[in-house]
Structure 1
Amino acid sequence: MTTAPPVAHLFDALSREVALVCDPSGTILWADGRAESILAAQPGQKLRALAAQGTEEKVDRLLLQARDERVEGWELILCRNGERPTTFAFTAQAEGGQLALVGSLVPEDYGASLGKVSSTLSELAALHRETERQQRELQRRTEELQRVNRELEESNRGVRSLHAALDEKAESLQRAAEVKGRVVANVSHEFRTPLHSILGLSKVLLNPLNGPLSAEQEKQVQFIRTSAEALYELVNDLLDLSKVEAGKAVLRHTHFEAGEFMRALRGMMRPLLPPDSTVELVFPDAPENMEMETDEAKLSQVLRNLVSNAVKFTERGSITVSVAKGPRDTVAFSVKDTGIGIPPEYHERIFEEFIQVETPLHRKVKGTGLGLPLARRLTEMLGGALTVRSVPGDGSTFTVTLPRVHPEVKEMAGLSERAEKLDPAKAPVLVLEDDRQTLFLYEKYLERSGFQVLPVRSVEDARRTVQRVRPAAMVLDVMLEGETSWNFLAEMKTKEETRDIPILVVTITDREQKARALGADEFWLKPVEGTQLLRKLSELAHRGPVERILIIDDDEVHRYLLKQLLKDTPYVLMEASNGLEGIRLAREKAPHLIFLDFLLPEMTAFDVLDDLKADPRTRDIPVILQTAHELKEDERTRLARETSAILAKHTLSREVAIGRIRDALSKAGLGSRLEEREVRRG
C-alpha cells in the first residue's frame, strides 16, 4: 500500500469542488468534507435551504431536470447559514433513485464580471430605447422649429415694415415736438411783454394818487388785473415746462440747511393767505443739522407750487408744510391740507398737462392745469419723486422725496476725486466747463482712451490745476456762469511755460474769429461727438509717453525737496518710504526712472538693486542713486555699473536733476518731452 505524500492534506484546501448526494425531493443524503466546511451541509437538510434568497426555484429546476438527464454547468448561489453567498457550477446525474451533484466553485471576479456584463447589457438596452425615444423627439422638435422659423420669418418681414413706419412716425413726432417747444417758448416770451404792460397799467389805474376811479371802473380794472395775473402765471408755467421738456433747464446746486430753507419758504408763503382767512398755514420745526446739496431754487419752486395749489382748494382748516428724514439718505417734504380732496381716479391724471378734476367743487377754482405737471418734472430733475395721497372731502398730502445730495453732486465729487490722482499711463486733459453733465460726458468719451479728464468749473480752479500739473491739452467753454474764459485763454497762450499746450474751445456762441485770434488751436460749437473730440485731441496733444518717476527714500524732507525741484515738469512723481514698498511700486506701476537713496530702513541700495535686476518687469528701469553717505571705492565701482548716475544729496539742484533724468531716459530709449520743449524755447 502506497504511503500518502506529505502534502496530501493540501488537496482539500486546493480543491474547488463540493460533492452531494440527494434524493429526488432534494434532501441531502451525503455531503463530502468540503461541502460541510464551506456550506455547513448536513444529511437530512434540504438543498433548497442552502440557496441564496430569491434563487430557490433555480434549485428546484436543477433537481427536476437531473432526474431525466445529465445536467452540466448549472449555476447556483449557495450560502452557509444564510450568509457569505458563493456561486457554484453544478454537474448532476441520477442513478438508483438518487442524485449525485458535483459543484465547482466559480471565482468571485468571474461572478462579479458576469453580474456586471448582465447589468451593462441591461443598461445598454435601456439606453438604446431612450436614444430611439430622443431621436423621435428631436425629429418632432426639428419639424416644429422649421414651422416656427417659417412663421418668424414672416413675422420679421412684418416687424421690419412696422419699424420703418414707426421710425418715420417717430421722426415726424420729434419734429412736431421740437416745433411745439419752440412755438411755446417763443409765444411765451412774446406774451410776457404785453402782459407786463397790462399789469403795470392796471396797477397805475388802481393807484389813487393817479386819479380816482368810480367803484364800477375800479371793479373792472381789478378784473383786468386778476385775469392778467392768471395769464402771466400760465405763461411762466408754460415756459418752465417747455424748458424742462427740451432738457434746457439748468441745475444749480447749492449747499443749504433744511431748517433755514423752510423758514425762508414760510416767509414767502404767508402773504398768500388774506388776513381774514380761516385757513392756518403751519410750518413745524424742521430737524436740526439736516444739510442738503441740490438746486434750492427749483425745490422752492416745487413747494411754492404745491402750497399755492393747497391754498386754492382749502376753504377752512390748515395747510401743513413739513420736512423729515427719509429712507436711504433722502429728505421728504410734505404739503398736507384739509381741503376738498381728490378722487382716486384722478391721482395720476392731475400730473398730466392741462388736466383738471371734473367735480363741482373743483370747477369753482380755476387753474392752469400746469402747476402739478411742472412740479413733478422739476422733482424728477432733482432726482426725486412727487406722490399724492388724498380722500375726497378729507384733504390731500403731496410728498416730495429727494436725495439729500443730488446724484450729479456725488458724481461730480467722484470725478474730482479721480482727477486728484493722476494716472501715469494717461495724458491729463484740463476741461474748463461749468455744466456738470457736459463734464460727465467728456469723461465718458475719454475713459477708454489715453487721456484723463481734469475737470474744473471756474477760471480760478483752472489756474490752480495748471500750477499743480501740466496738462497735455485743454478744452475750454468760454461762456461760463458769471464769467468768461477769454482772458484765461489769452493768458495760457502768452505765458512761455504754457503757450505750447494745445487748447480746444467748445462753446455755444459762434466766436471762432476771437478764439483763433487769442491763440485757440481749434474751435467747435456744442454739442461735440465723442469720436470727434478724441480724434482731435489725439492730433493736438503731446501724449507721451508720460514719464513716471519713482522716488525711494525714507527721508520725507528730501522727498519733498526733490518734488519741488521737479515741479512744473511733465513728469509724474511717485513716492516710497522704504525699499520693500519701492520694489512693490516698481513692479506694479512700471516707472520709467527710479531715484534711489543709498541707505534705507533694514536694507541698502544693493538689496533693492538686486531685487529689481532679478525681476524681468523691473530689470531695465534706469536708477539714479542719491546719497549723503561717503561711498567706499568698491561700493562706488559696483554702483556705477548698476545705476545711471550717482548724485550727492547736498549738491543736488534742479538743473542737475533734470539733466540726469534726461540722460537716463535717453539711454533707456524713452526720450523726454522736456527736452523738446526746451529746444522750442531756445
Structure 2
Amino acid sequence: MERILLTVSISYEQDVVLCRQRARQIAALLGFELQEQTRVATAVSEIARNAFRYAVSGKATFSVTDSPTLSFQIRIQDRGKGIQNLDEILTGRHESKNGMGLGISGSRRLMDSFSIESSPDTGTLVVLRKNIPFRKEQFRPDEIALLAGELAKTIPNDAFSELRQQNAELAQAMRILQEREEELTTQRNSLHILNEELANTNRGVVALNKELEERAEAIKYAGEIKSRFLSHMTHEFRTPLNSILSLTRILLSTCDSDELSLERQKQIMFVRKSAEQLSEMINDMLDTAKLEAGRVEVQPGDVEVAELFGSLRAMFRPLLRPEHPVELIFEIDESIPLLYSDEGKIAQILRNFISNALKFTVEGEVRVKARLASDDFVEFSVIDTGIGISLKDQDRIFQEFTQLDGPMQRLSKGTGLGLPLARRLSELLGGQVSVQSEPGVGSTFAVLLPVRCSQLLSVAERQVSGGVSRPTPNSQPVNSFVTTPHNMPDSTPASYMDKETFQSIASRSLARARLAFQNLSKSASALDTAFSLNVEPGLSTESTPIIVISLMSGERTERSSDTRLSIKPNDQIWFLKKLHDIVGEIRPNRVLIIDDDEISRYILVDLLKDSSCTILEAKGGKEGLQRASEDQPQVIFLDLRMPDMSGFEVLAALKNNPDTKDIPVIVNSSVRVAPADFVALEGQPIAILSKELPQDMAAERIQEALRHAGLIGLDLTGEQGI
C-alpha cells in the first residue's frame, strides 16, 4: 500500500531545489542517516532537473510503500517527448557530449530501486525507492499524519541556504571520501605488509618442506642402514652361534663313553641353552629387519592343516613341563579345504602364539584350533587358561621390543619381537591378527588368513623355474639291469630304484639280458631266482656281479653254489645296500667342502666322518674351484659368504666350466636364501641347507641331498642305509 506524504510541482528552477529539500527532510523524518539523506536528495534533484530541463514541467510525489518492501518512494512524472536512446543510457553504451543521461545513471546507482518508463506520447515516469532502515511494520495512519504535519511546519530554505547546505553536504562527502581513501591506503599498506609476511611464510614453508623431505630421506636412509646392519650382524652372529651349537652337540655326543664328567656336561648344556636363546633372538631381529626392508620372500604352496598341526604337536609336546600340568590340544574343523599360502610363515605365527601360551600358562590347557571362518577365510586360534592380558596392554604387546612387567614375564625373557613379527607376517599373507584376553582367565590369539592367497600366485609363478631339482650327476649313471617275470609284483628291484640315480633297464627274459650285456660297461644285474637257478653258471662273469632277490623261500635260494652271486629273499634294504656297495667299489665317493670357516668345515666333516666318502676341504672359493677341477668330486658343499669369492660366484664359475658343470652342488650356509635367488645363474644347487639346523635334522637333510647327488645313501650314524 502506498501512502502519499507530499506532492511538489516542478515548473520553475527553484522547484528543483524544493524537491531536493523535501527529499532530504522526509528521509530525515524516516530515520535515514545523513549520508543516505544526501544520496536520496541528490538522486531526486538530478531526476527533477531532467524533468524541468527537457520537459519544461513535471510533478514529484513523495510517499511510503510496503510493496515489495517497506521503502521511501519518489515518483517524478513529466509530459515531455520521452527519451529516445533510453536503452543505451541504461546499459551504459550512451556517450554524452552535453551531460544528457548522466543524471539517470548516477541516480540509479544512489537508490536501492530504480525504474523508468518513457514514450513520446506519455512522457517519462521515474520511480525511485530507498529501503527504510530499522523498521519492518507498516506505517499507521496516525504516523503518516504526524509526518505530514512535520513537513507542513517545516519552511523550506531559500536557494542560497540550500546552496550552503549542499556545499556542507559536499564537504562532508569529501571528508568521508578522504577518510575512506586514507582507510584504503592503510588497508593497502597492511595488505602489502601481509603479502610480504605471506611471501616470507611461503619461503619458510618451502624451506621447512625441503628440510622435512631431507629429514624423511635421512630417516629412510637410517632405517635402511639399520635394516642392513641388523641383517649383516645377525648373519655374522649366526655363524659363530651355529658353531657353538654344533660343537656342544659334538661334545655332548661323547658323554655316553664317560669322556666328560657330569659337571662338564652340565656346563656344556648351559652353554648350549644360552646359545639357543641368543640364536632365537637373532632370528627374530633378522626377520624384523627383512620385513622393514620389504625383503621377506614368500614361498607359496599347498598347505595341509592336519600335517601342519602334526608338526607343531611333535615340536611342542617335548616342551611341556612336568611341574606345570598344562595340556596341549589340537582341534581341526573337518570342513577346512587345502590351503594355498606360505606354510613356513603360518607355522612361524602359530609357533609364536603357542610358545607364549605355554610360557604364561601355569595350569589348565592350551588349545590350538583351526576353523573355516567363511568360504574364503580360515581362522587359526590359540586359546590358553594363562595369566591373561589387561585391555590397556593389548595394543602394547604388538609394539616392537615391548614386554609387559609381571612375575611370570620376568621369568620368561625374550626380545619383544615375536608378536609384532607375527602381525607383520599375517599382513604379508593377506590376513590379520587379533587378541581377546582377560586377566586371570586366559587369552585367545587368532590369525585370520585367506584360503587361497591371490597375492602369492605371481610369486609362485616366478619361483617355478627356481625350484631345486634333481640334477644329473657329473658322471654317467651306473647301469642296473633287471630281469623280472611277467607276474612279478610292484615291489621289484626296478621299483626299488625309483628314487635312486641308477639307470634301470628292464628285461623279461635271460636271452634278452645276454644281448644287453654286450652293450654295457661294468654293471650290476638283478635277477629273480626263478630265472637264475637255471642259467647262473653261464650268466655270471668276472665283470658283471649279479644280485639275486627272490619271492621264494630261503631254502631254495641256498641251492645256488656260485659265490659270485649275491642271493637273498625279497628285501629292499638289503638290495640297495648291496647295490651301493658294488657301485662304491667301482666309483669312489669324494665330497668337497668349500668354506672359509674352519669350525663349519670341522662340523660338517664330523657329520660325514662315518660315511664311506673321501672328504676334501677347500678354505676359499678360488681353492675350491681348483680342487673341483682337479679331484672331480661327486658332490660339493658350498658356503655363500667367503672373503675371496662369494658362493654365487663360485657356483657360476663351476657351471661355466665344462669339467665341473655337472657336479651337484649343495649350498650349506648361514645366509638365508631361496631357490629364486639362483634364477639368474645357469645352474641351480640341488639342495639348500642351513647351518642353523639341529643335528638330527641336519643329518636327515644332508642324507637326502647326498641321495639326490647320486651318492650312497647314508644315515650319517656310521651305518650305511637307504
TM band (smaller chain): 0.3 to 0.5
Query: Please, what TM-score do these two structures have when normalized by structure 1?
Result: 0.41
Name which one, 1 or 2, has greater alpha-carbon Rg: 2
Higher relative CO (CA 8 A, sep ≥ 6), structure 1 or 2?
A: 2
Query: Please, what TM-score do these two structures have when normalized by structure 2?
Result: 0.39
